[in-house]
A and B are shown apart, each in its own frame.
Chain A
Amino acid sequence: MSKQEDKKNRRDFLFTASYTVGAVGLGATIWPLIHQMNPDESVKALATTEVDVSQVAPGKSITVLWRGKPVFIKRRTPEEIAEVRAVDLKDLKDPQKDEDRAKNPEWLVMLGVCTHLGCVPLADKGDFKGWFCPCHGSHYDGSGRIRKGPAPVNMEIPEYEFVDSNTIKIG
């Protein structure tokens, strides 16, 4: 009786072990099939872009492509800076100081993608002297913060740094 049970246990163990080891292998096989869809080495290598901004006049902005998305680089005038810095944080849907968004107040570097559903907002449009998204009517101010409309949060600030006074490296 106990001998039989012992035999049965061993058989169960063998089957369980086979199933477990088999399942682990199946899982390990699936990973390459999933991971192949992630950005490949050449895409990752291009993930930084250097931009020469010496030609941008105060009050003007340029748009550059980074990781396939537009990045707005705006050279703000002192009036524009003063205006966005004077805004009461209580009036904001996604409260954030302009000081935290633009390390160098003269330059606003921002991912030009509406946080609602990914359209590109138009410059110098909307009710807040900033950007306006034509798709579903989101209004952003001169710091790229959401003020009105369906977008939930402010436009994203990418990682960037000034390599020298004329060159910005994004990413």
Chain B
Amino acid sequence: MSDHNYVPESKVGKWFNDRLPLLSLGAHLREYPTPKNLNYWWTFGGILTFCLITQIVTGIVLAMHYVAHADLAFESVEKIMRDVNYGWLIRYIHSNGASMFFLAVYIHIFRSLFYGSYKSPRELIWIIGMIIYILMMAAAFMGYVLPWGQMSFWGATVITNLFSAIPLVGESIVTWLWGGYSVDNPTLNRFFSLHYLIPFLILGLVVLHIWALHVPGNNNPVGIDIKKPSKDTVPFHPYITVKDIFALLMFMIIFAGFVFFSPNVLGHSDNYIPANPMVTPAHIVPEWYLLPFYAILRSVPDKLGGVLLMFGALFVLIILPWLDTSKIRSAVFRPLYRQFFWILVIDVLALGYLGAMPAEGTYLFLARVSTVYYFLHFLVILPVLGFLEKTDPLPASISEPVLTGGLSTSAAKSDDIK
């Protein structure tokens, strides 16, 4: 990992560093040459790290008070909310933290889509990121089951039943997942265990994600390869750290707004009703961040087909680096792709909205159209666009662009974004 020869000044430091080069790592992280034109969309990596750590810390605390038992889980959550010192604060941070985590990850993913950060030589960063995203969904889903309210119970029932669509072994798999013939205490117990495990897997993958990033270095709004270190780069510390911290504080203001002033607006009121295996709520909806996939699932009239298409929606993202045939990374220089990008954003938002609506009539029709367009974007438009699109000329470097002047390239970019 060390791309320079760092020698600690003190004797002790040198002794330590020769045996375990932690100080070299620290020096690398401080000096890591970063493109100087990164805009605020690039701060979400740091924000996501904050989200992960927040979830782990508050989660460990909640696990000190939570009881993973079907008869006691709901009560123990109420005890956390009422009696445990600052329990209400810690739980609301954790439950809203999940939403904030997904909000940040979606912005992070769409940033990557806009600026082509997934393209060579950064394919592995993207794929590791997608695995993190899938693990996040698993962790979030299992976490939502833990309070053992109505949505917990029925969400768990519906999602685990997805696996029953698998031919021949589906039913056995579902029984195995449940540890019984329905979602019950054994299910709750194993979900708790896995919910505790997954964040640490994510943490490990985040290390790999950043490691893989530090090999080629950051992409940037212009999307061109840069020499580093050079006039185009700045050391990570203090330039990027201070900017990341400022953006993080802005993010925390929004976060705090939810936690303190409308902590339940992102959840569903049915989850304050204790789980009842005999009554299904009238409207089962997953948490907002899973809605687009839920819409895709429901838009197919066939059980297995719906499940396959839903997982397919994730799979096309994983192979995206090879579906996009354009050599140009940044959408700033791709006039057509730029437009398709925004159509995709609208399409995904539409899927999210339709996922929360009843699957009938016009809603269902629109959900089907949106689903088709989603796959069309990745499987047809992107591969073809690479050959047909006439891209704008690229600047030679960040500092000396040929087209737009000076640092305003990055400003121009964010204007494109809004």
The residues of A that contact B65 with a CB separation of less than 8 Å are 36
Is the beta-carbon distance between B85 and A35 smaller than 8 angstroms? yes
Is the beta-carbon distance between B57 and A33 smaller than 8 angstroms? yes
A32 shortest CB reach to chain B, Å: 4
Bound together, the chains give a CA A95 to CA B237 distance in angstroms of 63
Bound together, the chains give a CA A122 to CA B170 distance in angstroms of 60
Bound together, the chains give a CA A43 to CA B61 distance in angstroms of 18
Is the beta-carbon distance between A41 and B83 smaller than 8 angstroms? yes
With an 8 Å Cβ cutoff, the count of chain B residues facing the other chain is: 13
Is the beta-carbon distance between A41 and B82 smaller than 8 angstroms? yes
- Judge if B87 is at the interface, Cβ distance under 8 Å: yes
Is the beta-carbon distance between A35 and B86 smaller than 8 angstroms? yes
Bound together, the chains give a CA A151 to CA B64 distance in angstroms of 33
Counting contact residues on chain A (CB < 8 A from B), the size range is: 10 to 19
The residues of B that contact A35 with a CB separation of less than 8 Å are 85-86
Known: A37-B64, A42-B79. A32 touches B57 (CB 8 A): no
The residues of A that contact B57 with a CB separation of less than 8 Å are 33
- Judge if A165 is at the interface, Cβ distance under 8 Å: no
Bound together, the chains give a CA A43 to CA B84 distance in angstroms of 9
Bound together, the chains give a CA A136 to CA B232 distance in angstroms of 72
The residues of B that contact A33 with a CB separation of less than 8 Å are 57, 61, 90
B251 shortest CB reach to chain A, Å: 15
Is the beta-carbon distance between B61 and A36 smaller than 8 angstroms? yes
Is the beta-carbon distance between A42 and B61 smaller than 8 angstroms? no
- Judge if B89 is at the interface, Cβ distance under 8 Å: yes
Count chain B CB atoms within 10 A of each CB in A35, A37, A40, A43 and give the residue with the most.
A40
- Which chain B residues have a beta carbon within 8 Å of chain A's beta carbons? 57, 61, 64-65, 79, 82-87, 89-90
Known: A33-B57, A33-B61. A40 touches B84 (CB 8 A): yes
25 A-B pairs within 8 Å (CB atoms) are namely A32-B85, A32-B89, A32-B90, A33-B57, A33-B61, A33-B90, A35-B85, A35-B86, A36-B64, A36-B65, A36-B85, A36-B86, A36-B87, A36-B90, A37-B64, A38-B85, A40-B79, A40-B83, A40-B84, A40-B85, A40-B87, A41-B82, A41-B83, A41-B85, A42-B79
The residues of B that contact A32 with a CB separation of less than 8 Å are 85-86, 89-90
Bound together, the chains give a CA A32 to CA B61 distance in angstroms of 10
Query: Which 10 residue pairs spanning A and B have beta carbons closest together?
Result: A32-B86, A40-B83, A41-B83, A42-B83, A35-B85, A40-B84, A36-B85, A36-B86, A38-B85, A36-B61
- Which chain A residues have a beta carbon within 8 Å of chain B's beta carbons? 32-33, 35-38, 40-43
The residues of A that contact B79 with a CB separation of less than 8 Å are 40, 42
Bound together, the chains give a CA A116 to CA B89 distance in angstroms of 39
Question: Please, which residue of chain A has its CB at the minimum distance from the CB of B84?
Answer: A40
Question: Please, which residue of chain B has its CB at the minimum distance from the CB of A22?
Answer: B245
Apart from A36-B64, A36-B90, A43-B83, what 17 extra A-B contacts exist at CB < 8 Å? A32-B85, A32-B89, A32-B90, A33-B61, A35-B85, A35-B86, A36-B61, A36-B84, A36-B85, A36-B86, A36-B87, A40-B79, A40-B87, A41-B82, A41-B83, A41-B85, A42-B83
Count chain A CB atoms within 10 A of each CB in B79, B82, B84, B87 and give the residue with the most.
B84
Bound together, the chains give a CA A32 to CA B88 distance in angstroms of 10
Question: Please, which residue of chain B has its CB at the minimum distance from the CB of A44?
Answer: B83
Bound together, the chains give a CA A32 to CA B80 distance in angstroms of 13
A39 shortest CB reach to chain B, Å: 8
Bound together, the chains give a CA A42 to CA B75 distance in angstroms of 13
Question: Please, which residue of chain B has its CB at the minimum distance from the CB of A31?
Answer: B86
Bound together, the chains give a CA A37 to CA B80 distance in angstroms of 11
Count chain A CB atoms within 10 A of each CB in B57, B82, B86, B89 and give the residue with the most.
B86
A29 shortest CB reach to chain B, Å: 10
Bound together, the chains give a CA A40 to CA B81 distance in angstroms of 11
The residues of A that contact B82 with a CB separation of less than 8 Å are 41
The residues of A that contact B64 with a CB separation of less than 8 Å are 36-37
Question: Please, which residue of chain B has its CB at the minimum distance from the CB of A32?
Answer: B86
Bound together, the chains give a CA A31 to CA B39 distance in angstroms of 35
Count chain A CB atoms within 10 A of each CB in B57, B85, B87 and give the residue with the most.
B85
